[in-house]
Amino acid sequence: MTIGDVNLADLAAVVVVSYLIGAIPTGYLISRAWRGIDIRDYGSGNIGATNVLRVLGRGPFIVVLIADALKGYIPTLATWYIFQDQGAQTAHALQVAAGIAAVIGHDFPVYIHFRGGRGVATSFGVYAALAMPLAVGLVAVGIFILLAVRYMSVMSLVTVPLGALILLILAVVPGGDVYTWTKVIFGVFATAIVFITHIPNIKRLISGTEPKIGEGGEPRAEAIRQKAT
């Protein structure tokens, strides 16, 4: 059975494998190996690279950041090489499915009861697989924002939607790549998920209580209460 040019069996395989790769809880595993703690008991309770930086420092942060990006990059890029013989339209569609599944896996990992990250680094990895120059540009913009304001959440809320906007512009300009329209689907999804998962951060930014880079790595109150009972 097919949807358009995409075989449903291929789509299911890509989604399942990409989800399981994206769901590898690198932040959780690194915090266990590095200090013997559950990263979800500290800071924001998130397993992503930002919370790892707050709690464990730069070394583990860099490891987790790269690993989380690779969780999006590897399945999305591999999908292209596996399915390119079926035509560019099919391969790009499956790439987008792989990227979406990888981000969902990171945000809701089956291995640790669906308590994951916010998908920013993994989305950057997917962007890199879909359009490497775009990802490089977003990294440059992200570094500038971090140096200027020192809020990781602001960087995330600007760069991920910016990637979607650039893909949209590339899709509509005369002579643009017709297959970029398919990639725009991932950009829209990534933008939606980053805003949804950053709602608490947006509220803290408005109230002026959002921690800057490296701040806010204390044990979470609910974790302390649970261990005391």
Look up residue 116 and give its amino acid.
G
- Name the band, by pLDDT with cuts 50, 70 and 90, for residue 24: very high
CA 145 to chain centre: 18
Once rounded to an integer, what is the mean pLDDT over residues 223-228? 48
Please write the tens of the pLDDT for every residue from 95-107: 999 999 999 999 9
**Taking the model in full, what pTM does it have?**
0.91
At residue 228, the pLDDT reads 42
At residue 91, the pLDDT reads 93
Q: Give the H/E segment covering residue 6.
A: strand 6-7
Q: What SS3 state is found at 179?
A: coil
- CA proximity to 71, closest of 13, 117, 10, 6: 117
Please write the tens of the pLDDT for every residue from 136-155: 999 999 999 999 999 999 99
- In this predicted structure, the answer to whether residue 56 has a pLDDT above a threshold of 50 is yes
Burial 150-187 (b: 16+ CB within 10 A, else e): ebbbbbbbbbbbbbbebbbebbeeeeeeeebebbbbbb
Q: Domain range for residue 199?
A: 2-228
Q: Give the H/E segment covering residue 2.
A: strand 2-3
- Name the band, by pLDDT with cuts 50, 70 and 90, for residue 6: confident
Once rounded to an integer, what is the mean pLDDT over residues 117-141? 96
Looking at the structure of the chain, the number of domains it has is 1
Structure tokens belonging to residue 44? 């924001």
At residue 229, the pLDDT reads 45
- Say what the alpha-carbon torsion angle 7, 10, 15, 16 is, to the nearest 10 degrees: 140
- Say what the alpha-carbon torsion angle 13, 95, 91, 80 is, to the nearest 10 degrees: -90
Mean pLDDT, the chain, rounded, equals: 91
Burial 33-63 (b: 16+ CB within 10 A, else e): ebeeeebbbbbbebbbbbbbbbbbeeebbeb
- Name the band, by pLDDT with cuts 50, 70 and 90, for residue 7: confident
At residue 32, the pLDDT reads 95
